[in-house]
C-alpha cells in the first residue's frame, strides 16, 4: 500500500509539472488511458485470462467509465492552480463524500459519530483554504469536484462489484476515460518534445504500477487495516512540493490537513466497528 501510494504521488507530481507547462490535462489522460488499457489487455492475454476483463453489465460500466473522466480531469486541472500538498489534502475529503453518498443512495446507516466527523472534515478544508491558503479558489473548487466525483466512482464500483470483477471495473473505467479524452483531444492537443513524451509515459507507468500495487494490497489485507496508509500521500506531497517547487505549506494548511486526516481516520474506524458489530451474530 505504501509503495502504491508513493507511485501515485509521483504520478500527481508528473501531472502537475506538465499542466503547469501548459500541456492540457485531457492530453495526459488520453495517453495514460491508452497505456493502461494496452497494459491490461497484454497482461491478461499473456495469462490467458481475458474473460476477466469482460463486463457483465456493459452499458452501466460504459456510463460509469465515460462519466468517470470528471474525477481525474478536474484533479489534474486543479494542480495548475494549487500546490501539490493543498490538492492532496482537499482530495482526501472524498472519504466524507463516500459516507454521504452511501447514506443517500445505498441506504447505509450513518450515525452521529460519522456525521460529526464529516462536518469536522469539511471544516478542515475551510481552514486549509483561508485565510492564507497558497492556492487559488478555482483550484480548490476543482479538487473538491474531483473528490466528489471520485466518491461517486468508488460507491458505484462497490455496487457493481456484486456482479463485476475488479479487473473489468478497472478496464472499463480506463477505456471509457480514454475514449472521451481521445474524442476531445483534437481541441486541446499541444505538440510535445522528447522530454514531455518521456514524462507522460512515466506518468502512465506510475499510474499502472501504483494501481496494481494498491489492488494487490487490498487482496492481501482487510481494507480497514491498510486504508489509513493512504494518508502517506500527504507526506509525499510535502516532500515533492519542497524539492521540486520550493513550496512550504503555511500553518493553516497543515492544521486543515490534521483535521481532515483525523476525521477521515475516525470515519474509517467507525465503518470498521459497524461492520464487525453487524457480523457478530
The residue ranges of every structural domain in the chain are: 2-279
Q: Are 264 and 231 in contact (CB under 8 A)?
A: yes
Instruction: Read off the DSSP letter of residue 269.
Output: H
Residues 58-80: pLDDT tens digits? 888 888 888 889 989 999 999 99
Predicted TM-score (pTM) above 0.95: no
Q: What pLDDT does residue 218 have? A: 72
Ramachandran region of residue 246, left (φ > 0), alpha (ψ -120 to 50) or beta?
left
Judge whether residue 275 has pLDDT over 80.
no
Helix segments in the chain, DSSP class H: 2-20, 25-46, 58-67, 70-78, 84-91, 94-105, 112-129, 137-160, 166-188, 194-220, 223-226, 232-245, 251-279
pLDDT tens-digit map of 18-58: 988 888 899 999 988 998 899 889 988 988 888 888 888 88
What is the model's pLDDT at position 35? 87
DSSP state of 22: T
Query: What's residue 156's pLDDT?
Result: 81
DSSP-derived 3-state class of residue 164: coil
Residue 227 pLDDT more than 80? no
Residue 256 in this model has a pLDDT that exceeds 90 = no
Distance of CA 95 to the CA centre of its chain: 11
Nearest Cα residue to 259 out of 120, 135, 130: 120
Distances in Å between the Cα of 80 and the Cα atoms of 22, 31, 74, 257 are 9, 19, 10, 20
Averaged confidence pLDDT in the chain: 83
pLDDT at 16 (0 to 100): 92
Amino acid at each position: 500500500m505504501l509503495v502504491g501510494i508513493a507511485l501515485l504521488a509521483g504520478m500527481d507530481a508528473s501531472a502537475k509539472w506538465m499542466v503547469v507547462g501548459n500541456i492540457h490535462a485531457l492530453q495526459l489522460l488520453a495517453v495514460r488511458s491508452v497505456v493502461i488499457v494496452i497494459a491490461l489487455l497484454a497482461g491478461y492475454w499473456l495469462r490467458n485470462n481475458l474473460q476477466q476483463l469482460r463486463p457483465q453489465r456493459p452499458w452501466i460500466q460504459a456510463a460509469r467509465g465515460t462519466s468517470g473522466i470528471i474525477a481525474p480531469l478536474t484533479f489534474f486541472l486543479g494542480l495548475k492552480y494549487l500546490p501539490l500538498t493543498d490538492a492532496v489534502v482537499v482530495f482526501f475529503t472524498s472519504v466524507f463524500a463516500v459516507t454521504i453518498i452511501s447514506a443517500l443512495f445505498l441506504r447505509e446507516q450513518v450515525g452521529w459519530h460519522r456525521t460529526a466527523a464529516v462536518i469536522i472534515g469539511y471544516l478542515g478544508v475551510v481552514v486549509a483554504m483561508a485565510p492564507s491558503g497558497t492556492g487559488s479558489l478555482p483550484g480548490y473548487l476543482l479538487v473538491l469536484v474531483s473528490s466528489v466525483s471520485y466518491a461517486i466512482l468508488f460507491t458505484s464500483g462497490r455496487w457493481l462489484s456484486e456482479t463485476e470483477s475488479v479487473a473489468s471495473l478497472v478496464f472499463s473505467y480506463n477505456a471509457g476515460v480514454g475514449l472521451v479524452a481521445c474524442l476531445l483531444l483534437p481541441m486541446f492537443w499541444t505538440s510535445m518534445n522528447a522530454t514531455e513524451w518521456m514524462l507522460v509515459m512515466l506518468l502512465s507507468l506510475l499510474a499502472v504500477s501504483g494501481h496494481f500495487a494498491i489492488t494487490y494490497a487490498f487482496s492481501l489485507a482487510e481494507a480497514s487495516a491498510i486504508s489509513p496508509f493512504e494518508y502517506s500521500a500527504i507526506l509525499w506531497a510535502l516532500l515533492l512540493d519542497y524539492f521540486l517547487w520550493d513550496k512550504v505549506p503555511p500553518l493553516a494548511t497543515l492544521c486543515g490537513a490534521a483535521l481532515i486526516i483525523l476525521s477521515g481516520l475516525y470515519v474509517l474506524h467507525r465503518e470498521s466497528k459497524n461492520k464487525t458489530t453487524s457480523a457478530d451474530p
